[in-house]
Amino acid sequence: MTRRQERENIYRILFRAEFHKPEEMEEQLALARAALRESSADEDAPVIGGGENLSEEEEAYIMTKMERVLSHLDEIDAKISESAIDWSFERIGKAELAILRLATYEVLFDEDVPDKVAINEAVELTKIYCNEDARGFVNGILGKIEGNK
């Protein structure tokens, strides 16, 4: 599994977080872990890659990063809100928010991911999961976050 596929799996799990209460996320993470282990040849599957192709290291990377993003969620959301000038946090679409949360975590906390890579990968995710207007929106917010860190 490539880093891009791992990132997309993390995005899909983060997207779930918007539809569940915080106390339900432990169960959601367990379900995501189980889904990672299942075959995901079906394009409607909840994960990209997986099954026999998923190594223990890849699973651990995905789940650890997810847990780290969730542990910094308040700080991440504050940075996004602060950088979304003239745009209320509540108006940000759920797909865009999940992408922004992952990329903001990578920019602020993940020293293994260069800022430019985090921003570029976020824009690539918007091409798959969001409308065209989201690309500039996501890129702009992440650029502000990167510039103010």
For 1-60, write each residue's pLDDT tens digit. 788 988 998 998 889 878 877 778 778 777 777 777 764 444 555 555 555 567 788 888
Do 89 and 50 share a structural domain? no
Confidence (pTM):
0.86
Helix and strand counts by DSSP (H, E) for the chain: 7, 0
For residue 110, give the 3-state DSSP assignment.
Answer: coil
What one-character DSSP code corresponds to residue 45?
Answer: S
Do 77 and 52 share a structural domain? no
Do 86 and 64 share a structural domain? no
**In terms of residue numbers, what domain contains 147?**
73-149
Give the model confidence (pLDDT) of 18-30 as tens digits.
887 777 877 877 7
Domain count, the chain: 2
Do 101 and 45 share a structural domain? no
Residue 71 has a pLDDT of: 93
114: left (phi over 0), alpha (psi -120 to 50) or beta: beta
Do 92 and 51 share a structural domain? no
Quick one: which of 57, 59, 31 has its CA closest to 46? 31
Radius of gyration (Cα) for the chain, nearest Å? Answer: 15
Do 86 and 47 share a structural domain? no
